[in-house]
């Protein structure tokens, strides 16, 4: 009988809860522990040096509670601090970062839109992903800087989202990447806005596939 594993899922706010629920649905034989930082959310406009001391105690609490593997369901943390986290803790980490490679492979117009936080967009890791996989594409980065805060407050509305996605759609973007787990909560809204003009990508299925592979390798 497969061993029950404890899977930690972390995000700055409620965004990662969608990831935790997806993991629970896909892997019901395992236990999922979700942690966030409701006191300091959102992280998307904070520098990494300010975020690190906020998250270390939270990750330590997941380790203390017996987590065998941890999903970092925060693109901002994954693209800026996954190295220090892996150095600090002795369990496997699964990072979530903008799906630049899949979107580049999927696009036929060679125009993609990456919806992500300012800190993610400014990260070295994101620059590497664009250089490696999207250097021959036009990459549009809509202003989503307030989305996480508005989602946390349930204040984001259809008109705001449509207005901020309009330039990307007008430019011919045929793939829209949700590069922040907060945005998963408005995925259906975004699908309605793009009305079939673009494919909307978010990484939950890919993360679950990677999680299954990692768990299979655990002693």
Encode pLDDT of 3-24 as tens digits. Answer: 899 999 999 999 899 999 999 9
Active site residues: 74, 180
Over residues 155-160, mean pLDDT: 90
For residue 40, CA distances in Å to 55, 82, 125, 145, 152 come to 10, 19, 23, 16, 12
Task: Please name the helix (run of DSSP H) or strand (run of DSSP E) that holds residue 22, with its range, or none.
Answer: helix 15-26
Stretch 68-73: mean pLDDT: 98
Residue 1 has pLDDT above 80, yes or no: no
- What are the chain's domains? 6-97+204-217 (3.40.50.1860), 100-201 (3.40.50.1860)
CA distance 198 to 47: 32
Over residues 28-59, the pLDDT tens digits come to 999 999 999 999 999 999 999 999 999 999 99
Instruction: Return mean pLDDT, the chain.
Output: 96
CA–CA separation, 183 vs 174, rounded Å? 18
> Tell me: the pLDDT tens digits for 100-134?
999 999 999 999 999 999 999 999 999 999 999 99
8 Å CB contact between 16 and 73:
yes
| Residue 134 to residue 142: CA distance in whole angstroms | 17
**Banded pLDDT at 156 (limits 50, 70, 90):** confident
What does R_g of the chain's alpha carbons equal in angstroms? 17
């Amino acid at each position: 009988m497969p061993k029950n594993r404890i899977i930690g899922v972390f995000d700055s706010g409620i965004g990662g809860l969608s990831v935790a629920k997806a993991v629970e649905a896909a892997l019901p034989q395992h236990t999922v522990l979700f942690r966030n930082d409701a006191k300091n959310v959102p992280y998307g406009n904070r520098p990494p040096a300010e975020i690190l001391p906020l998250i270390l105690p939270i990750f330590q609490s997941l380790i203390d509670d017996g987590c065998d593997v941890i999903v970092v369901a925060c693109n901002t943390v994954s693209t800026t601090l996954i190295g220090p986290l892996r150095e600090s803790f002795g369990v496997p980490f699964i990072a979530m970062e903008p799906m630049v490679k899949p979107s580049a492979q999927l696009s036929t117009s060679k125009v993609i839109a990456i919806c992500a936080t300012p800190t993610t967009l400014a990260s070295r890791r994101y620059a590497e992903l664009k250089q490696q996989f999207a250097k021959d594409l036009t990459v549009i980065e809509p202003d989503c800087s307030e989305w996480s805060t508005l989602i946390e407050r349930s204040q984001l509305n259809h008109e705001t989202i449509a207005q901020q996605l309009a330039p990307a759609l007008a430019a011919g973007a045929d793939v829209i990447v949700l590069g922040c787990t907060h945005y998963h909560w408005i995925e259906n809204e975004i699908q309605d806005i793009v009305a079939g003009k673009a494919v909307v990508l978010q990484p939950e299925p890919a993360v679950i596939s990677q999680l299954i592979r990692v768990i299979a390798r655990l002693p």
